[in-house]
Amino acid sequence: MKLLRETLTNFKGIRDYTFSPQGGSVSVSGDNGSGKTSLLDGFLWVLLDRDSAGHRDFELKTLDASGAAIPMLEHSVEIEIEHQGRRRQLKKTLSENWVKARGAKTAEFSGHRTAYEIDHVPMQKKEYDAAIAAMCDETLLRILTDPLFFATKLPWQQRRRILLELCGDLGDEELIGGDERLSELTELLAGRSIEDFRRQLAARKTLLNSELKAIPVRVDEVSRAMPAAVEVEAENEPENGTEVEATQLARLQAEADAHRAALAQLMQRRQQASADLATSQRRQRELQDTLERLATRLAEKRAEWNRQNSRVFSWDNPAVCPSCGQAIPTELAAASRQKAEARFAAEQEKQLQRLTAEGQALLAKQQEQQQQLQSTIASLPTLEAAVGEVEAEIARLQMAATDSDDLAAARQAAARQARREAVAAQRRQAEARIAELRRREQSLAEEYAELERQQFLGEEFLRVKVARLEARINGCFRLARFRLFEQQVNGALCEVCEVLGSDRVPFNSGLNHAAQINTGLDIINTLSAHYGVTAPVFIDNAEAVTKLTATSAQLIRLLVSEGEQQLAMRQEMAQAPWQAEKVQPAEAAAVAGPGF
């Protein structure tokens, strides 16, 4: 890809400027702020929708003296490139929408819109992006246009991936087979990658280390919980001055067991008798409460029956029908009164019968409950007597079950012996546990030492791989060097991808600007040859570089020229003073060998 022409209109302060390198290497000079970097920003904005810093959301509008964007301007960049031998025109235009509502005096800002064109054909964003993606990969284009991008802006993981893709990784089997020191790894890996092997070793070591640290704590806990040793009394030693024959102890023990069994049965009987008594007492209270409620309801029914029975018929308005309220003819008044009186009498009789039936039902229930209450009250003395009888029997058995002095002494002796045996058993168990923990500690320590040996073997593998891989990759470049692994404080190796200069000075913390540019150009040369792609290379602050690394790509040097307010372009000669002899892509690709 070569840049033939770039036209900026109202873009980042440049009102109207056409830059025409026509595919050749050029120098563009101007004072600070004159718009040199805007050429690269415009180029990348058209292709990638980013500025040179990688930002999508950047200020591209032309601003007034106060720093505010000038309204109602169209901001556009059009580039003409040569891509695969074909000229292509790409244009992007950002404009503001101003809408004047009905009845309003002025238009109001309502957002932005972006227009896209390829070869003067308007396109939708999706179509435009697809066409650009077909021309160039975004990451590769940023690498090939900016000598600093690969080393300073690309994540190290992507740098590493590109380098391994460029020169090829080294297979584990290839490395192991070529070094006798590593031959044991074939069996240890068992088909796993070296990375998986190292991760599993590290995980296992972490578990072992945690368990090893915990063992002394467990030993201390067991030791502190272990009871103190007690002296075992001599065999047949008298206990409290009395010797108890085994048969006598057995007999006394059997008697005591029989008393306890009988006492347990009596306890159950007492519990049942007490429960039966409590149930009868509770039933008595419930029946008494029910009888009180029935008496109250009977009194209410009698009062209601008396009120109903005391009602008399009355005829307040003989001239008006008591049913429908209409006037009754005189000749029908007597008959109407008789009918009304008959209806009253029938209704009164009906209510009295209902109340009588309800009252009789309550009375029958009251009598039934009264009988139940009397039966319950009658059963209480029997239940109380049963409880008393059981209590007396329990007291007798408790007195009879009192241990004799001999049995008490025997029990004390047996208890002491049982305590001694229990203490001895606890100590034996604790000592066995401590011995087990010590054996486990020794086993873990031996396994940990073996894992460290295997880990060292894995790290030795990586050191061999580092040396060979870095040599292979560094052999693909004339100036750039790379460190792909870094040794940590604990001696382990971790993957990195740091760019170095030709004398192995870190790119980001030791190289001057000129060395950074030349190292970046060396990287661009190798990657261009590998991918078979070239792109315009923009070099900012190029005045600091007196001699550039040779490249077959189109170079656009951006030079600071104090006092030069307008951008000035100068076409360079085929062999510019600041260029070494050009290297064709084929030659650059030829150095991409194994490097050893």
> Do residues 275 and 398 both lie within one domain?
yes
Shortest CA distance to 572 belongs to which of 588, 548, 595?
Answer: 548
Does residue 183 lie in a domain region?
no
Encode pLDDT of 143-194 as tens digits. Answer: 999 999 999 999 999 999 999 898 877 777 767 766 777 878 877 888 787 7
> Do residues 513 and 395 both lie within one domain?
no
How far apart (Å, rounded) are the C-alpha atoms in residues 323 and 340? 8
Does residue 510 lie in a domain region?
yes
Last residue of a domain, one of 402, 430, 446: 402
Does residue 340 lie in a domain region?
yes
Does residue 461 lie in a domain region?
no
Does residue 121 lie in a domain region?
yes
Query: Which of 33-37, 276-280, 545-549, 566-570: highest mean pLDDT?
Result: 545-549
> Do residues 298 and 388 both lie within one domain?
yes
> Do residues 398 and 480 both lie within one domain?
no
> Do residues 398 and 518 both lie within one domain?
no
In this prediction, residue 479 carries a pLDDT of: 94
How far apart (Å, rounded) are the C-alpha atoms in residues 83 and 71? 36
> Do residues 24 and 149 both lie within one domain?
yes
Is 70 exceeded by the pLDDT of residue 533? yes
> Do residues 138 and 266 both lie within one domain?
no
How far apart (Å, rounded) are the C-alpha atoms in residues 294 and 292? 5
Neighbour tally for 47: CB within 10 Å: 23
Does residue 567 lie in a domain region?
yes
Last residue of a domain, one of 402, 423, 452: 402
Last residue of a domain, one of 363, 382, 402: 402
Compute φ and ψ for 270, nearest 5 degrees: -65, -40
Q: Residue 364 belongs to what domain range?
A: 262-402
User: Among residues of the chain, what percentage have pLDDT more than 90?
Assistant: 39
Structure tokens that stand for 33 in this block = 């702020």
In this prediction, residue 196 carries a pLDDT of: 86
Structure tokens that stand for 92 in this block = 């992007």
**117-156 burial code (b ≥16 CB/10 A, e <16):** bbeeeebeeeebeebbeeebeeeebbbbbbbbbbbeebee
Does residue 560 lie in a domain region?
yes
Encode pLDDT of 295-345 as tens digits. Answer: 898 899 899 899 889 888 886 666 666 667 677 777 777 787 788 888 888
In this prediction, residue 575 carries a pLDDT of: 43
How far apart (Å, rounded) are the C-alpha atoms in residues 128 and 48? 11
> Do residues 372 and 481 both lie within one domain?
no
User: In this structure, are residues 507 and 499 in contact, taking their beta carbons and an 8 Å threshold?
Assistant: yes
> Do residues 398 and 314 both lie within one domain?
yes
Which of the four pLDDT bands, split at 50, 70 and 90, describes residue 409?
A: low
> Do residues 480 and 572 both lie within one domain?
yes
What CATH number should be reported for the domain holding residue 124? 3.40.50.300
What is the number of structural domains in the chain? Answer: 2
Residue 93 vs residues 83, 120, 134, 325: alpha-carbon distances, Å: 22, 12, 21, 96
In this prediction, residue 395 carries a pLDDT of: 80
Tell me the β-bridge partners of 363.
none
> Do residues 162 and 266 both lie within one domain?
no
Is 60 exceeded by the pLDDT of residue 22? yes
Does residue 481 lie in a domain region?
yes
Of the two residues 231 and 234, the one the predictor is more confident about is: 231
> Do residues 6 and 136 both lie within one domain?
yes
